[in-house]
A and B are shown apart, each in its own frame.
Chain A
């Protein structure tokens, strides 16, 4: 199993600013995943973060808006840049294997 510490748990931010979300895993993992859950919606994968290489972004998500860092095998950050109210969502990091997945506690972001 894996335990993921994610912070902040929630934040209220002004439009036009940026927020960096951190995830720390208690074991080394090859890939970490970042998801977004917009209000009333399902979870959508933003990107896959690999250590030592650039993140792989899903369709509709770009690096300029959601830059990701992965400096080592236990840590990753996601930045939500130049925020607008449409970015108000829950952001989750995750690690997984073939038979199970583990999530951070989530970051509830409100942009005003």
Chain B
């Protein structure tokens, strides 16, 4: 069945460091891919998405490129801030509209 695998956390970075959170997927066909963010004590928010191969999703300085050949959708940000501290979830959506989530990666950014 469809699945999503993320790098394990927690990830701890200093402010202004470069961030990469790895995400790979297994799926039938070419699903749309998502990154969601959950700030402490809050609900899930859509961060960015890509709907086809080679698409790049971007938002708030975060980027991720849909790589069909490596079945990956890694999240990157050039310079993280303390306010980026949160849990990040990679997900895919299958044809029926069902979301499959990765296990989540906790990011902690220190000043």
> Which one of B19-27, B71-79, B92-100 is at the A interface?
B92-100
List residues of chain B with CB within 8 A of the CB of A98. 31-32, 51, 93, 95, 97
B89 contacts the other chain (CB 8 A): yes
Q: Which residues of A contact B96 (CB under 8 A)?
A: 31, 48, 96
Instruction: Output the least CB separation between A62 and chain B (Å).
Output: 19
Chain B residues with CB under 8 Å of A90's CB are: 43
| Residues A97 and B98 in contact in the complex (CB < 8 Å), given A43-B89, A105-B43 | no
- Say yes or no: A42 contacts B89, CB within 8 Å: yes
Given A42-B102, A43-B89, decide whether A33 and B44 contact each other with a Cβ distance below 8 A.
no
Task: Name the interface size band of chain B.
Answer: 10 to 19
Q: Which of B34, B93, B95, B103 has the most CB of A within 10 A?
A: B93
Do the beta carbons of B43 and A96 come within 8 Å of each other?
Answer: no
Chain B residue nearest to A94 in the complex (CB): B99
Chain A 87-112: CB-based contact to B (< 8 A → 1; otherwise 0): 00010101111111101011000000
- Which bucket holds chain A's interface residue count? 20 to 34
Q: B98 contacts which chain A residues (CB < 8 A)?
A: 31, 33, 45, 48, 96
CB distance from B35 to the nearest CB of A (A): 13
Q: Which of chain A's residues have a CB closer than 8 A to the CB of B43?
A: 90, 103, 105-106
Asked whether B104 lies within 8 Å of A101 as measured between CB atoms, the reply is no
Apart from the given pairs A99-B51, A100-B93, 17 other A-B contacts in the complex at a CB distance below 8 Å: A31-B96, A42-B89, A42-B102, A42-B103, A42-B104, A43-B101, A45-B98, A45-B100, A96-B93, A96-B96, A98-B93, A99-B32, A99-B49, A99-B93, A100-B32, A101-B93, A101-B99
